[in-house]
Chains A and B, each alone.
Chain A
Amino acid sequence: MTFEAPSVETMVRPALGRRVATIAQRIISFLATLAVTFVGLTAVTFFISRLTKIDPVLSVVGDKATKAAYDLAYHALGLDQPLVVQYLIYLKRLLSGDFGMSVLTSQPVLSDLLRVFPATLELSTVAIIIGVAVGVPAGVVAAARKGRWQDHVIRVVGLFGYSVPVFWLGLIGLFILYGQLGWVAGTGRLDVFYDGEVTPRTGLMLVDAALDGNWEIFSNAFSHLILPAGILGYFSLAYIARMTRSFMIDQLGQEYVTAARIKGNSFWRTVWRHAFPNIMVPLITVIGLSYASLLEGAVLTETVFAWPGLGLYITHALFNSDMNAVLGGTVLVGSVFITINLVCDLLYKLFDPRLRSQ
């Protein structure tokens, strides 16, 4: 007796034209949402910039300016226009890449941001790799061993991740692993005497050192990176493991899992080969979301580890009342965050077969 699987053709499937139309519609609505959310974000940052007690005119003309010069600058900045017009001017400037000048570095904020961004990118990329490499298997095991000790251990580890303040964990990590045991390097991206030894190409220290073939610096950079990345990774691990577990529990309750077991597949083969592929789509969304939130989590981590990325740049600017830099950083992080968020949402809608036909 042969067992025949139903062929794809026999299943109800919308015509190609309609599917293309649906996908096009989804993409258009995605772009619209993206635009609206971006307008919302910039409206909020604009509002914040109006809340500050720092006079934007004085920061241009200086506090010794004459009344005439002040009024001229006041007019030039468009401050005598209605708020809506001021906002539109602000939006236009942002879109043309003009984030204003940083008071602290006397550089355009945008070029500052681009300079520090690779450090954050490197940190959060290594962190998400750790988070996925540990979090996904942990979540799958927790689901497969639901209610047993493995599940409880993973749940407790996850709960700790949800509860521990990241800046404190960083300090404790530095105290134990660097101060007491000396297993990792301290703060910063490299030991001081390696500064300027690497040819800056990508801004990613590991990649640049590897391109130079300088493995001494590579390993130094790695020992600087591993603690902050590990701590950030722990936070995404907690979230990824929890979500993986709940997706997996849904799948393992399905009839096809029982069928696969009856066919004689081993338990773990069923889990990994039959159930796991079915959670890939929501899982990718979750990973994308935690990647986005790592950019944010990096603010506190970078402050603790003196990691010269976006987070440290923003907090430095904060302490020096450099509002252009703070808001520029907020707009950049916010835009990346929103885009990743919405792209994940779009991917989910495009690839989940259950949503496709709707």
Chain B
Amino acid sequence: MAITREEVRHIAKLANLEFGEEEQERFTRQLGAILDYVAQLDRLDTREVEPTSHAGGSSEMRDDALGPSLDRDAALANAPESGRGLFKVPRVIG
């Protein structure tokens, strides 16, 4: 198996997700199968090949100029909880 249950728990923590016992078991099995499958890339010698991060799309810098943006009320309109012009969250430090 390409991945252990312990690793699945660790990755879940990194991803801010939590799983029950049964789900952990299923994910370990399914991720293991997918990782076994993608391991076929090891057959290629890629040491001399440059990586591609974007397929030819230009990626350009814009001028650092002020422009119109969302007003505060519109930006807050979808918040589960807001008040006094701010997003509200539970306390951060116990």
A binds B: no
